[in-house]
Amino acid sequence: MSGAEGETVAVFVVRRLASHAVLAVLAASLGYLLAAAALDPRAALEGGALRPPEAVIDARLDALNLDDRTPLAERYLTWAGGVLRGDFGRTWEGEPVNAELWRRLGVSLRLVLPGAVLGAAIGVALGAYAAVRHGRAADRLISSGSYLLLAVPVFVLAVLLQILAEEANDAMGLRVFAWVGESTPGASHGALWSLADRARHLLLPTAAIALCQSALYARYQRGLMLDALHADHVRTARAKGLRRRSALLRHGLRTALVPMTTYFAYTAGLVLLGGVFTETAFGWHGLGEWLVDSISRGDVNAVAAIDCLAACAVLLAALASDVLTAALDPRVRAGVLP
């Protein structure tokens, strides 16, 4: 990459980052406003077995910036000012949101990230292979399997995997597969055993997410690859004597991956949504579980913090997509495309 191309890519990435940042701020703000307008933390306090006096309820809600009698615009400005300082406020119980947010984020990342990365890699590879073997048995098998997986929701797939794992455990007479939580409660047999225990608890959730993701990517990549295989530049490369394998990898696959990078950003939201169901199915205490509990309790600050984090995650996914696009597409590096 020349210096001029590098400068063009840098300008492209900065411009896209600014655009995505504006969208992330708007999404986070809208998330808070919707949560503050729809949720009712006052009802949770008033509905308890020992109902506090009205003055106590008002004081507690006001201290947490949850008082529905305070204008929504004023509550939003208070919340936004705290976010700019890195403070997401306090939960309904009065605990700092930040500490719980980062702890839950670590759990969700350990659950979702391996399956998302593995699913993307497998899906792209299978989609490209199916396109190359178009009309043959391998193509029909991959296409049929992708359609089947797309028709099965992730929580149903999680339950099916648990049933199969239980059958496998019974057949082997050993508890090889485990899936409730991150590790076996109360087990302490050294660092190596603990690592292996965490790995076997992660196996089924990773498989559930990876299978769903790979089906999406395989279908999309197959269509893009079929278009690229019939493009003029691929036929020209073959006519100049380039071997079929080299032409497909250097020209066909690279061209098909350019629009695929945009798809990565769009699927980030689906991965987060699938993570909510996956956490519930496998008993992981991550952001998804916390979001459901917070909505049921009317915990506005926790819901808004999770929404803000989700908006930033999609922003980072979109930025990574733009960087990959610039790396794969010479027209972006040359400044031909905006």
CA 116 – CA 114 distance, rounded (Å)? 6
* pLDDT at site 297: 85
Query: Helix-strand-coil percent breakdown of the chain, rounded to 5?
Result: 80, 0, 20
Whether the per-residue pLDDT at 257 is higher than 50: the answer is yes
Whether the per-residue pLDDT at 23 is higher than 90: the answer is no
The model's pLDDT over 126-144, given as tens digits with 9 standing for 90+, comes to 988 888 888 889 889 999 9
Confidence of residue 254 (pLDDT cuts 50, 70, 90): confident
Lowest mean pLDDT among 4-13, 50-59, 262-271: 4-13
Measured torsion, CA atoms of residues 212, 218, 221, 222, in degrees rounded to the nearest 10: -150
* pLDDT at site 54: 82
8-26: average pLDDT: 77
CA 338 – CA 335 distance, rounded (Å)? 7
The model's pLDDT over 202-219, given as tens digits with 9 standing for 90+, comes to 888 999 989 988 998 898
The model's pLDDT over 181-191, given as tens digits with 9 standing for 90+, comes to 777 765 556 66
* pLDDT at site 34: 92
Whether the per-residue pLDDT at 322 is higher than 70: the answer is yes
CA 71 – CA 73 distance, rounded (Å)? 6
CA 253 – CA 332 distance, rounded (Å)? 18
Lowest mean pLDDT among 68-77, 279-288, 327-336: 327-336
Query: CA-CA distances (angstroms) from residue 66 to 25, 85, 91?
Result: 21, 19, 10
Residue at token pair 């057949």: 171
The model's pLDDT over 38-59, given as tens digits with 9 standing for 90+, comes to 888 888 777 666 677 888 888 8
Position 309: which residue type? L
Domains and their CATH numbers in the chain: 1-92+298-338 (no CATH), 104-286 (1.10.3720.10)
CA 338 – CA 319 distance, rounded (Å)? 15
- The sign of the torsion formed by the CA atoms of 181, 187, 188, 192 equals negative
Whether the per-residue pLDDT at 336 is higher than 50: the answer is no
- What are the backbone angles phi and psi of residue 96, rounded to the nearest 5°? -60, 135
